Amino acid sequence: MDIFRAVCGVSLFIASTYLVVDGVLASPSDWVLFGIGAAGFVLAYLLWPSKKRGQRHQDNPFWDILEILVELPVELLLWFGRLLGRLLSGKGGGVDLDF
């Protein structure tokens, strides 16, 4: 089952990467492709049997590299959202935006 989830996750990641690149570069006015690609990244993140979330127990360097690639877009988005939330809520360390 882990192999099936990994293949589905990687396939969805590749398709989402194509849709995001096509939506931004090839036809910049087509935000629908960009949105579908972003949703595909989230779905690939949820499908991937993550070692970090305790869904995969075997050690394999190839799977670890694929895990980094599949989880990177969502992890960056979550990191940026947390950073923005801290800056706007005033809980950040020393940097604050005053409106």
User: What is the radius of gyration, based on Cα positions, of the chain?
Assistant: 17
Banded pLDDT at 53 (limits 50, 70, 90): low
Per-residue model confidence as pLDDT tens digits over 57-74: 677 788 888 888 998 999
pLDDT exceeds cutoff 90 at 43: yes
Cβ neighbors of 80 (< 8 A, separation 6 or more) are none
Q: Using an 8 Å Cβ cutoff, are 70 and 48 in contact? A: yes
What pLDDT, on the 0 to 100 scale, is given for residue 96? 55
Q: Write out the two tokens for 25.
A: 């570069």
The number of residues making up the chain comes to 99
